[in-house]
Amino acid sequence: MKVTGFSHITINVRNLQTSLDFYHGILGMTLRHRGRTDAYLEWGSAWVCLVERMDAGEHADGFAGMDHVAFYIAENDFNDAVGILKQSNVHIVRGPIQRGVGWSVNFLDPDGIQLELHTSTLDERMKIWR
């Protein structure tokens, strides 16, 4: 098996429109499809599927699940992205901080799912973990 990169993530959300306002409106993901209870967004080479589930809030109350989702961003675009998050009153939970050879900021989406923007690649990170 030869995996070649990040494909997608599916995120259960409580309100599709609120999540689209965040992922499309604030983060700038390209909306490729919107259904009655789902939406597909593209962000560089990654894509995100949002699925509206009435019981999505239960996942935050002790169910095992995702810790956070990280997306790569070029270092020269990082400060502008942090500025957009702050101007949009997005809850930043950590950072911006330098982690290893890159910069990182962790923040929450409207459902409290932790996301990260990070400026280094896996190869760059592995150089400092040795």
Catalytic residues: 116
Q: What is the 3-state secondary structure (H, E, C) of 39-99?
A: EEEEECCEEEEEEECCCHHHHHCCCCCCCCEEEECCHHHHHHHHHHHHHCCCCEEEEEEEE
Task: Give the residue among 48, 62, 37, 59 at the shortest CA–CA distance from 112.
Answer: 59
Amino acid letter at 53? R
